[in-house]
Amino acid sequence: MITIKSKLVLMFMLTVLLTNCKEDISSADEETGDIEYTTNLNISDWSEATHGKSGKTNYDIVFPQNKVNRIDFVISANNWKVMLADMALNYGTFGSGAGGPADDSDDNPIYVPCSLYFNNIQWYEAGIRFKGNSSLKTTWGSGIWKLPLRLNMDRFEDIYPEITNQRFYGFKELSLSNCYDDESLIREKVAPEIFRDFGIAAPQTAFYRIYIDYGNGPIYFGLYTMIEIVDDTMIEDQFAEDDGNLYKPEGIGASFAKNTFSTSYFEKKSNEETDWSDVEALYNILHSSQRTSEPDIWRTSLEKILNVDHFLKWLAVNTTIQNWDTYGNMTHNYYLYNNPKTNLLTWIPWDNNEAFQSGKQSGALSISCSEVGSSWPLIRYLLDNSVYSAKYKTYLSQVITSAFEPSKMISKYQNYSSLIKEYAVGSNGEQKGYTFLESDSDFDSAISQLISHVNSRYNVVQNYIK
């Protein structure tokens, strides 16, 4: 016979066991949560060229410039529900109307395994999740299914050893932007091209039609922009050496304002075992008293840690195209790479879907940046220096006669709009519930606005540099 005392002991032990189980689940959702995993995996389509780590990083296939690719994702009904439940937990009910900037949480949406199909080839149990800040929160709250996505091709290799080091034509990770707040659907594609054309390292981009099958057949989720991940392949492709410190700054310290420096604001994407002495040196030099007392010495010191010309070129492009959601307004959306060949921190722009408009919140910076205060010292202190201010004006003049020259940009806008139009509007285009377009005419109007914008910005820059 079990006594009352025995029952109490058993209940206590069960409580302890359940508590421990909950702790295990909360610390490793993808391993022990409700995610469903395939058994008896068959990787018959695998080849080293398409799936292997040693295969060529094939930019021509993954980032074509004159076509729109199609990718299909197949996610089990169970795992789709897991993704949505995770979103509801963090962002509220789908379509509840919540929107605006995301909170300060560092937690990303949960990854689940999926099958990826491209050009009649299958990739196996790749990790897929929703991603983004305002673009994710606002889209979810608005009840629009065109949610931004992130891929990690070997996320689940510990569960599926067969896919160890799986790649998508050489790419481990990829980002799919949903063209949030962009009725032209081309801003995220075009902005990095302008930066690269002006000699500034920036990710490759391409247009993709995205279909998702979560149990009821493939559904067109809309036209997305595929974006290369900086710490996956971009550094290796665009720099002579890829083993330098790479940072993704975020938060108040990313402003470099006085008394804000902390390593916690500079997430390391490489060399995690090394220190942060390079970014700390940049901070210290920026705020050195020599800036005003001995400006020549200050410039020499600054140019030993920061690729100043590169930064001024970025600033010239950024203010010309009115890319407001970054440094100067917001403490995010850039990387810093310590290039081993030069030992200089190099500025890399990121997340450009808000470009080519006057902007929200405090708005895009004026071409003179006269309103920018000391809370953004990389802009204010450099432009307060007569040598750097003159260089900035020179770069502005070069931008509007090369990378952002009106006739060149108008041709680009027209070519891209013709390329994607059938996948954006009409019977084969984005559909209600999976689009930010309220009518087909919104697309044409947005392209016309871009054309007006480039002409207007040319005049603004010309008037400033006279």
What tokens appear for 334 in the block? 């850039």
Same domain, 228 and 328: no
Mean of the pLDDT values across residues 105-109?
A: 77
pLDDT digit string, tens, across residues 156-165: 999 999 999 9
Do residue 98 and residue 222 come from a single domain? yes
Q: How far is CA 448 from CA 185, 342, 348, 401, in A?
A: 13, 42, 29, 21
Q: Are residues 361 and 452 in the same domain?
A: yes
pLDDT score for 360? 80
Helix (H) or strand (E) holding 444: helix 440-465
Structural domain harbouring 71: 41-178+202-238
pLDDT tens per residue across span 220-250: 999 999 999 999 999 999 999 999 999 999 9
pLDDT at residue 12 is higher than 50? no
Instruction: Give CA–CA dist 180/133, Å, rounded.
Output: 11
Instruction: Report in angstroms the alpha-carbon separations of 169 from 113, 165, 215.
Output: 19, 12, 27
On whether both 119 and 56 belong to a single domain, the answer is: yes
In a domain, 162, yes or no: yes
Domain boundary residue, one of 238, 256, 289: 238
Amino acid at 348: I
pLDDT in tens, 247-284: 999 999 999 999 999 999 999 999 999 999 999 999 99
Nearest in space to 379 (alpha carbons), one of 432, 450, 316: 316
* Residue 6: per-residue pLDDT: 38
Same domain for 79 and 214, yes or no, is yes
Distances (CA, A) of 302 to 15, 75, 132, 280, 285: 60, 50, 33, 12, 6
With tokens 């937690």, the residue in question is: 107
Say if residue 245 is in the same domain as residue 214.
no
Mean pLDDT value across residues 204-208: 99
Q: What is the mean pLDDT of the chain?
A: 93
Pair (252, 339) in one structural domain? yes
Q: What is the pLDDT of residues 28-56, one digit of tens each?
A: 355 445 999 999 999 999 999 999 999 99
- Does residue 212 share a domain with residue 166? yes
By CB neighbour count within 10 A (0-12 exposed, 13-18 middle, 19+ buried), where does 292 fall? exposed
Q: How large is the average pLDDT for residues 62-80?
A: 98
Q: Please state the domain count of the chain.
A: 2
In angstroms, the first-to-last Cα distance of the chain is 98
On whether residue 271 sits in a domain, the answer given is: yes
Domain with residue 418: its CATH number is 1.10.1070
Given a cut of 80, whether residue 423 has pLDDT beyond it is yes
- How far is Cα 156 from Cα 29, in angstroms, rounded to an integer? 13
Do 439 and 350 belong together in one domain? yes
pLDDT of residue 148: 99
As a whole number, mean pLDDT of residues 137-161 equals 98
Assess whether pLDDT exceeds 50 at residue 462: yes
- Same domain as 137, residue 271: no
Between CA 367 and CA 379 the distance in angstroms is: 12
| Same domain flag for 228 and 248 | no
Of 238, 259, 289, which marks where a domain is finished? 238
